[in-house]
Structure 1
Amino acid sequence: MSPDEYCQNKAAQSGSSFYYAFLFLPPERRRAITALYAFCREVDDVVDEVHEESVARMKLVWWRNQVAELYQGRTQHPVMQALAPHVQAFGLPQEQLLAVIDGMEMDLDQARYESWEDLKRYCWHAAGVVGLLSARIFGQTQEQTSDYAEKLGLAFQLTNIIRDVGDDARRGRIYLPQQELDRFEVRTSEILNHQHSERFEALMAFQTERAQELYRDAMRALPAADRRAQRPGLLMAAIYHALLNEIARDRWHVLEQRISLTPIRKLWLAWKTWVSGGRGLQRKLGR
């Protein structure tokens, strides 16, 4: 199996909405973004699948060394071998790849967040910086596109947090800011015990509106000159925004189930957004 095939399998097996955006890219950009996504999956799996904290930390140190060697022209892991040709071609900064690992390490350091500012910092490392890297691969030409990519990454991560409240609680994690749980009088024990309530719905409606505002801010920030190049991000935005709306329509019943879109619906949303060039989505969300 070649390094590119390894990354392709990693992306396809994940079932992520990101995979649908990759399908429409030219071959070189598709290989680059697939390698980047596989890198993110590898380091994320360290935290999700390695149950001994000390072992997980050692593995993240190993991945840091892999990033350092990548920029020295040496690669061992197939993901890094697949990523190597694209580092210089797309100007991918070493510190941003390391920032992704920082985000995974934050999951080992804490399972609660006091404020939105604290959570936003985590979201930047988990997804905002991935947005910045992705925008380069897609073909960024305007500086303002970085603001779009960063905000869109935050919107994606907050959507994931809203969707995964129940799954995260089963792992002993609550990403929703403690200050906001207190504001809506939702106890952590209620979330850990999967107790749905009107207070919980109010809390989740607040989080959803924050995510909606991030989508709106991202769309407003995207320059027209880069809209065509950034269509893969707009495809993902169409899918993630539809998921966010689906969760809200279901009254945020996320404590005991994981709400998702069907593969055919994801593909339809991706195709429709690609064909329209993302103009309709930008108009709709950027109002």
Structure 2
Amino acid sequence: MTLSVGAARASELSAHYALCETTLREKDRDSWLAALFAPSDRRRHLHAIRAFVVEIAEAREKVTQPLLGEMRLRWWADTIEQASGANAHPVADALADTISQNRLEPGEFLAFLDARVADFYDDRTVSVAALLDYCGKADALPLRWCALCLGEALGSDAGTALEDAGAALGITRVLWDLPRQGGARALLPADLLHRHGVPAEDVEAGRDSRRLRAALAELRALAREKLDSARIAAPKLDEAARGALLFAAAAPLYLDRMERSDYQPFQPLPAPSPWRRQWRLWRAARMGF
């Protein structure tokens, strides 16, 4: 028996959501684990959002020049803005359905994509404030979307907590990605480097120094400060907002790893053990982040 058009479309969409979950399980296990604590009927939307973030994060590694990267982001922007052609790409299809089902604001996704253009260039971020603005769009907005999908009305307390958690998550991501040439290295703020007497060319060349380590320690302290602010606010928030905060819950483990005595900023680091990350997420879910 031939499936009706509606049933065939539902089957296709279900397969695309399943691919989003597989993407997370293989490429962003922290997000996959965090989504497990969400109600089962909401998880697929979290999978779509976080798989979209993975797709954009991987774009720099898949292109040979910045213009090609911008073209990739332009395709995503056009697909989201026009809500057409998405089913040609499984993650885009699931994301388009998530945006529609949860009445998310497409303009916020365009702001996210505009921020991620910086990933393709080696232009130095001017200030810590500019870095926080970047993190607010690149890392806090996805937390906001997850909260909305979970049913959060996003009052001022929830919005501030998600902003703080996103800032901490973004700073941690930038520091963790320093071993890769360009990208994250260019996001280290010029005013921070200047204050610590670190020449920008040293960062670009991957030269370690005590002054550089002091600058990175200041950024880690800022990330912890933002996490603490989100943690203090969490008990006052509803379940949906706390569920979205879980996507930043493993950040302290990465910060801890970068504070060990054997840390070398430009050498790849092994991720914290899966069991420690899983335990951290379980504890955060039980304690309210």
TM-score by length of 1: 0.85
The AA in structure 2 aligned to 1:209 is A
| Contact 1:7 1:38 survives alignment (8 Å) | yes
Structure 2 equivalent of residue 49 of structure 1 = 62
Equivalent-residue separation in structure 2 for 1:172 and 1:73 (angstroms): 32
Matched, 1:219 2:231: yes
Cα distance, 1:221 vs structure 2: 3.6
Structure 1 equivalent of residue 4 of structure 2 = none
Unaligned segments of structure 1, at least 5 residues:
282-287
Cα distance, 1:67 vs structure 2: 0.2
| Contact 2:28 2:54 survives alignment (8 Å) | no
Unaligned segments of structure 2, at least 5 residues:
1-11
Matched, 1:154 2:167: yes
The AA in structure 2 aligned to 1:158 is I
Equivalent-residue separation in structure 2 for 1:259 and 1:224 (angstroms): 35
What does residue range 122-133 of structure 1 map to in structure 2 within 5 Å? 122-133=134-145
Structure 1 residues 99 and 223: CA distance shift in structure 2, 3 A? farther
Count how many residue pairs are aligned between Structure 1 and Structure 2.
275
Equivalent position to 1:11, from 24, 28, 40: 24
| Contact 2:166 2:248 survives alignment (8 Å) | no
Q: Look up the SS of the partner of 2:124 in the other structure.
A: coil
Equivalent-residue separation in structure 2 for 1:176 and 1:159 (angstroms): 12
Matched, 1:82 2:94: yes
Equivalent position to 1:229, from 240, 245, 249: 240
Structure 1 residues 55 and 225: CA distance shift in structure 2, 3 A? closer
Matched, 1:137 2:165: no
Q: Look up the SS of the partner of 2:206 in the other structure.
A: coil
Equivalent position to 1:270, from 251, 266, 281: 281
TM-score by length of 2: 0.85
Which is further off, 143-152 or 54-63?
A: 54-63
Q: Look up the SS of the partner of 1:167 in the other structure.
A: coil
Which is further off, 111-120 or 149-158?
A: 111-120
Matched, 1:37 2:55: no
What does residue range 86-125 of structure 1 map to in structure 2 within 5 Å? 86-125=98-137
- Provide, for residues 182-238 of structure 1, a one-character-per-residue CA deviation record: whole Å limited to 9, x for no partner: 111122233334332221221111111111111122233446241x33343343333
Q: Look up the SS of the partner of 1:140 in the other structure.
A: coil
| Contact 2:175 2:184 survives alignment (8 Å) | no
- Percent same amino acid among aligned pairs? 26
Q: Look up the SS of the partner of 1:12 in the other structure.
A: helix
Structure 1 residues 123 and 134: CA distance shift in structure 2, 3 A? same
| Contact 2:80 2:96 survives alignment (8 Å) | no
